[in-house]
């Protein structure tokens, strides 16, 4: 059984401290403990504070489980729209989990340079054109990973076919083969 208390820190009265304590389940082992003599008012206050603690995110972003700090080449976009990779290095956060919309709304995150490899999430948040670009980028990354080559025009035809109806279409019997042609 786990017990959580929310208290004000004496050193910093404006900050709250949450302490967790693991308690044995048998009632006989609880005798003489400090919380047994707790006043009824404190018990009610504690119970009201602890109920929403499972649904409240104390820090971080919901649905992002892990974060990795990596060093990459710095990529910049000029005013004309050209993309340049510089020899400078920059630190980048890669996450395990998806929540692009919330991450893009964080003030300290550059939303123009934020990317997700989930094409469905990009489609839901940014639209079909952004999803087409993400599909293209992911396909090229997979194909070129081991040194293979597919002509750029063939990949663009495939991406156009997957997105031309305004939604994402799978390259399976449930997607393209079911399309009215």
Q: Where are the domains of the chain?
A: 2-54, 58-106, 116-181
Q: Which of 119, 112, 100 is nearest to 61 (CA)?
A: 100
Number of Cβ within a 10 Å radius of residue 74: 15
On average, the pLDDT of the chain sits at: 77
Higher-scoring residue by pLDDT: 132, 170 = 132
- Please report the beta strands in 1-127, taking only residues with DSSP state E, as ranges in sequence order: 2-8, 16-22, 64-77, 83-97
Question: What confidence score (pLDDT) does residue 118 get?
Answer: 93
pTM score: 0.61
Alpha helix stretches (DSSP H) within the chain: 40-50, 100-104, 119-126, 128-144, 152-163
Q: Which of 110, 116, 125, 123 is nearest to 162 (CA)?
A: 123
The per-residue pLDDT for range 144-154, each reduced to its tens digit, is 998 999 999 99
Question: What confidence score (pLDDT) does residue 7 get?
Answer: 47
The per-residue pLDDT for range 131-142, each reduced to its tens digit, is 999 999 999 999
């Amino acid at each position: 059984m786990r017990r959580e208390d929310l208290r004000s820190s004496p050193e910093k009265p404006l900050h709250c401290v949450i302490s967790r304590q693991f308690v044995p389940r048998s009632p006989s082992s609880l005798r003489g403990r400090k919380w047994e003599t707790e006043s009824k008012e404190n018990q009610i206050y504690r119970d009201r504070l602890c109920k929403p603690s499972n649904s409240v995110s104390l820090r971080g972003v919901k649905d992002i489980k892990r974060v990795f700090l990596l060093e990459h080449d710095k990529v910049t976009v000029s005013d004309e729209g050209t993309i340049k990779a510089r020899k400078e290095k920059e630190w980048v956060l890669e996450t395990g989990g998806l929540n692009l919309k919330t991450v893009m709304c964080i003030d300290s995150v550059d939303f123009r340079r934020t990317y997700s490899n989930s094409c469905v999430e990009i489609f839901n948040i940014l639209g079909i054109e952004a999803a087409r670009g993400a599909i293209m980028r992911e396909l090229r990354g997979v194909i070129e990973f081991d040194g293979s080559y597919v002509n750029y025009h063939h990949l663009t035809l495939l991406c156009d076919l997957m997105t031309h109806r305004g939604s994402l279409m799978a390259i399976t019997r449930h997607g393209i083969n079911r399309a009215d042609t």
